[in-house]
């Protein structure tokens, strides 16, 4: 993860408070690679401390801290440190979900065989890898989703994940349309990503409630769910029937007795 400008400036200001503006510039810290690397490590260590501290707190107390003040006091950091990375406790959860999703995408795209996969196989690879990665934070995942009200739409905590996933889905759909794996249907094609997002929610919910050994049932749900979705997206006899109906409608004079 790259250092945000806000975090960089905040850290630099701290250095200037200690060493003074002249000394910081004189040493070339603003452009010194070693200093930039130090900033990266220090900033990320603080962000990770907040992240881990939050997860530990909510799992121990089954709820969020009463205030940022009481939370950072336990971590022995300032409120300014907290707000340099996160706007609220809810934003920590959203960022954790985003990190898990981005980490999964980065991992699967780095596979040597990735370019050889079909769109279907790429989506299967994503969900197998995603649920595997979620295992290490399963208790937190259950907590995070469990405190969201049950509704048809995706939980608010996944608001940062949806555009990332839909962008990924759009990439696979575009590939499938180009190579003929997926049928191009007027008015429906742009809704394909919605069908895949529904599968995202279904698979996630299934995994949370799965009590089978090593979540074998989730793997089965992924296989069946993604395969049936892509079966519906690919060309079928129904498409031929619809095209035949359109043809007859356009040329009815030719076969009218």
pLDDT attached to residue 242: 52
The CATH number given to 90-243 is 1.10.357.10
pTM, entire model? 0.78
Q: Are 158 and 198 in contact (CB under 8 A)?
A: no
Q: Note down pLDDT in tens along the chain; length 257 residues.
A: 444 445 545 544 544 444 444 444 444 444 555 545 544 556 677 899 999 999 999 999 999 999 999 999 999 999 999 999 999 999 999 999 999 999 999 999 999 999 999 999 999 999 999 999 999 999 999 999 998 776 656 789 999 999 999 999 999 999 999 999 999 988 889 999 999 999 999 999 999 999 999 999 999 999 999 999 999 998 754 544 455 455 456 666 655 55
Q: DSSP letters along the chain, please?
A: -PPPHHHHHHHHHHHHHHH-HHHHHHTTTTT-HHHHHHHHHHHHHHHHHHHHHHHHHHHHHSS--S-HHHHHHHHT--HHHHHTT-SSHHHHHHHHHHHHHHHHHHHHHTSTTGGGS-HHHHHHHHHHHHHHHHGGGHHHHHHHHHTSPP-SSPPGGGTTHHHHHHHHHHHHHHHHHHHTSS---TTTGGGHHHHHHHHHHHHHHHHHH--SGGGHHHHHHHHHHHHHHHHHHS--HHHHHHHHHHHHHHTHHHH--
Sign of the CA dihedral 164, 114, 222, 185?
A: positive
pLDDT attached to residue 256: 56
């Amino acid at each position: 993860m790259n250092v945000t400008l806000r975090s960089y400036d905040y850290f630099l200001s701290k250095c200037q408070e200690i060493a003074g503006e002249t000394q910081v510039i004189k040493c070339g810290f603003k452009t010194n690679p070693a200093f930039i690397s130090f900033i990266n490590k220090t900033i990320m260590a603080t962000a990770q401390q907040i992240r881990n501290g939050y997860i530990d707190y909510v799992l121990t107390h089954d709820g969020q801290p009463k205030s940022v003040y009481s939370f950072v006091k336990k971590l022995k950091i300032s409120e300014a440190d907290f707000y340099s990375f996160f706007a609220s406790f809810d934003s920590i959860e959203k960022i954790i979900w985003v990190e898990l999703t981005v980490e999964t995408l980065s991992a699967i795209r780095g596979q040597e065989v990735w370019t050889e996969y079909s769109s279907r196989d790429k989506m299967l690879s994503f969900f197998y890898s995603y649920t595997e990665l979620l295992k290490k934070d399963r208790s937190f995942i259950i907590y995070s989703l469990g405190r969201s009200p049950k509704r048809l739409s995706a939980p608010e905590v996944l608001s940062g994940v949806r555009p990332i996933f839909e962008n990924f889905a759009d990439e696979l759909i575009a590939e499938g349309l180009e190579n003929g794996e997926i049928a191009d249907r007027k008015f429906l094609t742009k809704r394909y990503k919605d069908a895949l997002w529904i599968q995202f929610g279904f698979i996630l919910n299934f995994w949370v409630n799965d009590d089978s050994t090593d979540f074998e049932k989730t793997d089965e749900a992924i296989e069946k769910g993604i395969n049936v979705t892509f079966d519906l997206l690919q060309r079928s006899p129904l498409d031929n029937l619809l095209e035949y109906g359109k043809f007859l409608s356009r040329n009815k004079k030719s076969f009218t007795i």
